Amino acid sequence: MPRFRAAFLDRDGTLNVEIQYLHRVQDFEWIPGAVESVRRLNEAGVLVLVVTNQAGIAHGKYTERDVHALHDHMRRELEEHGAHVDRFYFCPFHPEGVIPEYRRASRCRKPNAGMLEQGMSDWELGPDECVMVGDKNSDVEAGLSLGVQTVLVETGYGAEHSKTTRANRVVADIVAATDLILSP
């Protein structure tokens, strides 16, 4: 039985190559080993919950529809490899946004823990059953604020953030994070 029931995974820089304001399917690229990592988590019975800040919506760079289309693309590609994400959570808000309905502070915007709290509620999870994996200290802080174990990957912004992180562990990438999650 795996050590954790759920892995909260950041999206950009953790599962896919970091591209600022990524929203077009044609620009999407998996980080090497990410698809296999998701499949391994699925096979071990670990819930895969993606939690991603999407401030580009508030900044008028793209829409919620674009985010859903990108997540649908990810689902299709994962399904081709026998893998899946159990649920995607995203936060469209930013206090400096240009789109009025999205211009506000929000508990869902990491480093706040709203998306993790929602996932823990939706799936009836305790903090000791969860791990948060991401490439930014905002991902780490969201997890730490709830007592969730945290792993910083050095892909995306991770190499830079590793110098100042409070993460429980720092690893090279999602493959190494998956190895850690699945270790006894």
Q: At what angle do helices 137-144 and 114-122 cross, to 10 degrees?
A: 50
Active site residue 139: no
Cis amide prior to 2 (ω within 30 degrees):
no
3-state DSSP assignment of residue 172: coil
Which of 10, 135, 139, 173 is flagged as catalytic? Answer: 10
Which of 12, 66, 135, 139 is flagged as catalytic? Answer: 12
**Contact between residue 96 and residue 110 where contact means Cβ atoms under 8 Å apart:** no
What DSSP string runs through 37-76?
Answer: HHHHHHHTT-EEEEEEE-HHHHTTSS-HHHHHHHHHHHHH
Backbone region of residue 138 per phi and psi (left: phi > 0; alpha: psi in -120 to 50; beta: other values): alpha
Question: How many whole angstroms separate alpha carbon 172 and alpha carbon 175?
Answer: 8
Active site residue 27: no
Catalytic residues: 10, 12
